[in-house]
Structure 1
């Protein structure tokens, strides 16, 4: 009896083990398909790319037509913004150079005129110690007390000659006054620098003091 039942028992065990191996293979196949399907669609869970949220992390080949258009729009806007910034920076640099740092700027001509006034003996006698003479622009109603712009104009006549006209105020320990400056720049002059037409100072109680006068043979003389 025992010898007759032994083959049956062995066959039953083999069938069970075979069914377990088939189940394991099926589960592995299912998990492989699931993982491959997830990896095959990595973009299914990412958010859509727009001109406002594109950070460049998604490859160009993975973008749809609409997303490619959005990225192109964003890059075009960024490029235009950069160009506008460069243009604005260039304009500011040009303005600073022409108005401040250039040898023929208004600030440079103002500083040279003030130096001439401080060195002139007639101005020293009328205003006082040159080290204490202050020059400033127009009084304003601004709450910033140091905001005193220099009143100046640059114009061009029919002959192409540029005219720089300026006036500013002087304050010394003895008196106060007003300086008037007129400079010209001729287009046919090789150096292209401004030249003095006149520079004079009016001080209350004193006669007009000329420091530069192109119509006078002695431009450094003072009016008698």
Structure 2
């Protein structure tokens, strides 16, 4: 099966304060260009981003998310990036309705921790230990983290998807940050990867907010 030629936007989500880094994301604004799920999976694999989003209804915010090898009911950085791009108050994912709000330089989503795919949250004793880690063998999705400043809620993290799809490490991972926030029960300021920043905050109603900066790198065709 061959994916059709289509246009897509390339975003970087969870950029640092200097506008650099962040996790790349492809967004196909016209999901009808690639309507078949098999074709979507082929295109996501061809593009090679950690996630590719297909927008099925740009007015209601209905989206479909794929990694290079599988479909996801929910993912953090695709929702943050697509929410910023479409400028809508909510997105509709297979997992549930994701609230979106833009606040200055940050775009925030609100979601349930139960929507996030399983992750192994592995704590280390120091940020230096996290920074020294080698990419582990495929087979387990690991979110490695350590406190940088516990009183201030500052964390150093790295993410290893373990999917054997060519992406050994994710630069910034909203779903894992959501799960860690749910476990710790407090707002976090996460420095991940080479220079990405993820902000989180639990809410009394059980939802968790995840926010970050988004940049548009341009539009391409495949």
Q: For this structure pair, what is the TM-score category when the shorter chain's length is used for normalisation?
A: under 0.3
TM-score, normalised to structure 1, is: 0.23
TM-score, normalised to structure 2, is: 0.23
Query: Rg larger in 1 or in 2?
Result: 1
Which structure features the higher share of helix residues?
1
Highest RCO, 1 vs 2 (Cα 8 Å, sep ≥ 6): 2
Which structure features the higher share of strand residues?
2
